[in-house]
């Protein structure tokens, strides 16, 4: 009976405790967008994921570690402000001073503007996060000629470059006296 009361009391206390809501981070590689949901607030930001040969891996991840002021050991001490590491390979969501957000250009990390990275970092620092990465980057797709959606489209012929025959050199019109005999 004492055990029953203990379990009932524990269940009541747990039910009354405020729920610890984590930040849900969803990254869509195809659209190059990061969506973060915290409570009732949702933000959507442009990102830059891994380019061809350095594709950002898809999957479900947890935050491994966080560093507000990190510099890459692998890429010449490149700044990675507000880094949220999610992969044992050292991949992170971090701020970037580089241009080109909205297109895959990184070495596998997920880059976003520094201001947005700071906001996301603060949210995750307060509440933790889950990270889901889906889709495929445009650079990882099959070549245009091999994609099934292109098989039904008409193909417009491209003009063929015309090659002019070589013009004779002016010396070809003259015969030297020595060449006659």
Record the tokens describing residue 12, joined without a space: 């009541």
Return the pLDDT at 159. 53
Rounded Cα distance, 80 and 78, in Å: 6
How, if at all, do strands 59-62 and 110-113 pair? unpaired
How sure is the predictor about 53, in pLDDT bands with cuts at 50, 70 and 90?
very high
How sure is the predictor about 59, in pLDDT bands with cuts at 50, 70 and 90?
very high
* Across 21-27, average pLDDT: 92
Return the pLDDT at 128. 96
* Across 1-19, average pLDDT: 48
pLDDT at position 46 over 50: yes
* Across 75-92, average pLDDT: 94
Please give the mean pLDDT across all residues of the chain: 79
* Across 134-162, average pLDDT: 54
What number of other Cβ atoms are within 10 A of residue 61's Cβ? 20
Return the pLDDT at 85. 97
């Amino acid at each position: 009976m004492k055990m029953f009361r203990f379990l009932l009391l524990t269940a009541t206390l747990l039910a009354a405790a405020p729920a610890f809501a984590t930040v849900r981070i969803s990254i869509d590689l195809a659209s190059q967008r990061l969506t973060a949901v915290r409570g009732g607030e949702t933000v959507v930001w442009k990102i830059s994921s891994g380019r061809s040969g350095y594709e950002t891996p898809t999957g479900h991840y947890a935050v491994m570690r966080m560093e507000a002021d990190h510099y890459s050991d692998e890429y010449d001490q490149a700044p990675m402000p507000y880094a949220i590491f999610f992969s044992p390979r050292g991949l992170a969501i971090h701020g970037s001073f580089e241009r080109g957000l909205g297109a895959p250009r990184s070495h596998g990390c997920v880059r976003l503007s520094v201001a947005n990275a700071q906001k996301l970092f603060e949210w995750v620092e307060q509440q933790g996060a889950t990270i889901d990465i889906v889709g495929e980057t445009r650079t990882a797709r099959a070549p245009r000629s091999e994609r099934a959606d292109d098989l039904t489209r008409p193909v417009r012929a491209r003009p063929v470059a015309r090659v002019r025959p070589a013009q004779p050199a002016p010396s070809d019109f003259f015969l030297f006296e020595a060449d006659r005999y």
